[in-house]
Amino acid sequence: MKKLLFSLIAVFLISCQAPKEKKSEQSNEPTVIGYEFNDEGKKLNVIAGDTAITDIYLDYIQAHNEKDLTKISEIDMDDIVVRAANGALINGSDSHTEQLDIWFKASNPSWKVKFMVANTVQGNDGKNQAWLTTGVDLVQSIDGSNVTSHHIVDVNFVDGKVKELIVYDRASEQE
């Protein structure tokens, strides 16, 4: 009986001890979420980016939906590069505005944002690039019918403005 009582007291005392503190192994280094390979084949770290650029992009999309070419031009850098899904290359804000004006009049496109992922590419030269990978549904009026396609757009931001757009698309499923 004494052994049982002693065992119970020992268990009770052990269980009342404060837990040992675990040492944190956290680092101040950003978490790598993927990689990009530059033109020379060097692997560059991709880390989580600044989500503040999502607000800029939402304003940009709203301006597109409102066909506000002035606002779009204000968000574009003067030397913007647009790499369209069809292979077209548009250089400069003026050219971008002209092409959008033609497109807006021809097919009345509208966009709906489905997702946005902010990321930063850490360059070997120490310069970081802010990117937003976004998915949008695009509805256009083509030959009197609304046609939806799904786009993935990589958007490069520099100083809060759009520097580059790279667009990939997929048509909607046929029913």
Number of domains in the chain: 1
pLDDT, greater one: 124 or 7: 124
Q: Is 36 inside a domain boundary?
A: no
Q: Which H, E and C letters describe the chain, residue by residue?
A: CHHHHHHHHHHHHHHCCCCCCCCCCCCCCCCEEEEEECCCCCEEEEEECCCHHHHHHHHHHHHHHCCCHHHHHHHEEEEEEEECCCCCEEECHHHHHHHHHHHHHHHCCEEEEEEEEEEEEECCCCCEEEEEEEEEEEEEEECCEEEEEEEEEEEEEECCEEEEEEEEEEECCCC
Q: Is 161 inside a domain boundary?
A: yes
Least confident interval from 16-25, 69-78, 99-108, 147-156:
16-25
Average pLDDT over residues 31-46: 90
Q: Is 148 inside a domain boundary?
A: yes
Least confident interval from 13-17, 36-40, 77-81:
13-17
Other C-beta atoms closer than 10 Å to the C-beta of 38 total 11
Range of the domain at 84: 45-171
pLDDT, greater one: 12 or 153: 153
At 108, which CATH number? 3.10.450.50
**90 contact partners, CB below 8 Å, separation of at least 6:** 80, 81, 82, 84, 96, 99
pLDDT above 70 coverage of the chain, percent: 83
Per-residue pLDDT at 26 = 63
Q: Is 18 inside a domain boundary?
A: no
pLDDT, greater one: 170 or 102: 102
Q: Is 77 inside a domain boundary?
A: yes
Structure confidence by residue, pLDDT tens digits, 60-79 = 999 999 999 999 999 999 99
Q: Is the pLDDT reported for residue 53 higher than 60? A: yes
Q: Is 95 inside a domain boundary?
A: yes
Q: Is 11 inside a domain boundary?
A: no
Q: Is 76 inside a domain boundary?
A: yes
Mean pLDDT value across the chain: 87
